[in-house]
Structure 1
Amino acid sequence: MGVTAVWMVPVAVSPLPEASGDSADLSTTGTPPSAGNPNLEPLALFIWNIATEQRKRQLCDYFSMCDGTSNSLNMYNMQLPQIRKRDKCFESSFQKKKCLIRIVQGFQDYKKYLQFVRQRIVGDNLQVDAMLSSSKILVDLLPLESKIRERIAQQDNSKEGTFNLDESTKTDWDKQVTVHVILRNFALFMESTIRAIRFMQSAPATAL
């Protein structure tokens, strides 16, 4: 049974387009910012940049799509964390506490998927390690109350485990498609996270 029929279904990836209007300003250098920097946007941009660059590299190295066109892979999807309108992370209905909880939960949920990427990606694992460690730093720096963090951590521990493909989807093609989908969806998650961070940092205190 193919990878699509088992657990990948063609559903909407995110409310944000894959090549969003903000993509031009979602660029950063290859050097992560200091963990002590109160401006979290550079760190979030650093994580996003690694995810997008690793995806482009994989498209070229494994799928021979070096022009970045991945239309033939758009039919594949997974039920991965995304930031939706109900999470109150968008300017029209922003709620800081609710939004931060969703972002932290999303990062926690992505850990096992990014570990899967690290084990199976074609190329340099050091960049994926940097993405994982930087994601942890970003989560630790987000201004969320400790008691809420503890509750999220407890929920995370209760469903802790590694992500593995179904027995019927163990071909190398299935694994690499899975890597592609995880990187694609994680990059979209990071786009929403970056916008939420920008709004938190620019909005007046009364709006938060």
Structure 2
Amino acid sequence: MNPLLQITGSLRPLAFILMLLMATAALPIPDSLGDGSPGDEVLRKSSSNPDLEFAKHLHTTASDLKNKMCQTLNLCDDSNEALAENNLNLPNITERDGCLITGFNEEMCLLRIISGLQEFDTYLQYLEIEMKDNKFQYLRMGTVQLVHKLKPSIKKADAVPTLDPIASKNLLYELQSLKTWSKNVALRLILWHYTRFMEGTIRVVRFLHTRSIAA
């Protein structure tokens, strides 16, 4: 388990931030991203799903911020040099998390998604501090709200990990201690990994919704 996810921390969603997030136009997420996730094989349904739409808004916000970072600060995510320096232990979704169509495990997958979103909190806080852009605060608080939306889907509520505030504080200190080049790499990688994580989250939420209305 990630050391950030051990002791209960206090995370409070902000209503006005959610309103701002929902006002953002969503980028379309392709039904298939070619990695064998459940959404790749499931027939799309027209019924609306608030959790899915909210996750899309978060992905849109992150993608827009990543593009802006590339254009204004020349911090683009196509640098092999940057990818080689990925020592941040950023959350990701792997085959053993039960989120792929082969061996899909709803409880295990949702636990991984929720814990991963919680792990991103400190990294998003770091972006908020360094970039001095309110949209990073929207992204962070919206991610907290998505966690609250997904938690009721877990059958065993006590299995959901919680943030360790001491580990979070130490990680934030380490991130803020990075020198200029390493800081730029970290900023770029955090957003790159976040958008990829959200793509996986969107596919899983879409699949679960489609499966429920088809049952």
- Whether TM-score is above 0.5 comes out as yes
Q: Percent identity?
A: 23
Q: 1:134-172: per-residue Cα shift (whole Å, max 9, x none)?
A: 1111111112247336x512x6457442423379x6322
Specify whether residues 64 and 48 from structure 1 end up closer, same or farther in structure 2 by C-alpha distance, changes over 3 A only: closer
Partners of 1:73 and 1:118 in 2: CA distance = 20
Residue 108 of structure 1 deviates from its aligned partner by 1.2
Residue 73 of structure 1 deviates from its aligned partner by 3.3
Q: Which residue of 2 aligns with 1:50?
A: 61
TM-score normalised by the chain length of structure 1:
0.69
Amino acid at match of 2:67: K
SS of the residue corresponding to residue 93 of structure 2 reads coil
Q: Which residue of 2 aligns with 1:15?
A: none
Partners of 2:130 and 2:175 in 1: CA distance = 15
Q: Which residue of 2 aligns with 1:98?
A: 108
Amino acid at match of 1:26: I
8 Å CA contact retained: 1:50, 1:127: yes
Q: Which residue of 1 aligns with 2:29?
A: 26
Q: 1:28-49: per-residue Cα shift (whole Å, max 9, x none)?
A: xxxxxxxxx8531111111111
RMSD between aligned alpha carbons? 2.9
Partners of 1:158 and 1:147 in 2: CA distance = 23
Q: 2:140 aligns with which of 114, 132, 135?
A: 132
Residue 206 of structure 1 deviates from its aligned partner by 9.8
Partners of 1:166 and 1:100 in 2: CA distance = 28
Specify whether residues 190 and 64 from structure 1 end up closer, same or farther in structure 2 by C-alpha distance, changes over 3 A only: closer
Partners of 1:113 and 1:170 in 2: CA distance = 13
Residue 174 of structure 1 deviates from its aligned partner by 2.0
Q: 1:198 aligns with which of 182, 206, 211?
A: 206
2:209 aligned with 1:164: no
Q: 2:129 aligns with which of 95, 119, 125?
A: 119
Q: Which residue of 2 aligns with 1:76?
A: 85
Amino acid at match of 1:164: Y
8 Å CA contact retained: 1:51, 1:187: yes
Residue 60 of structure 1 deviates from its aligned partner by 1.5
Count of matched residue positions in the alignment of Structure 1 and Structure 2: 168
Amino acid at match of 2:133: N
8 Å CA contact retained: 1:59, 1:70: no
8 Å CA contact retained: 2:99, 2:106: yes
Amino acid at match of 1:138: L
8 Å CA contact retained: 1:108, 1:156: no
TM-score normalised by the chain length of structure 2:
0.67
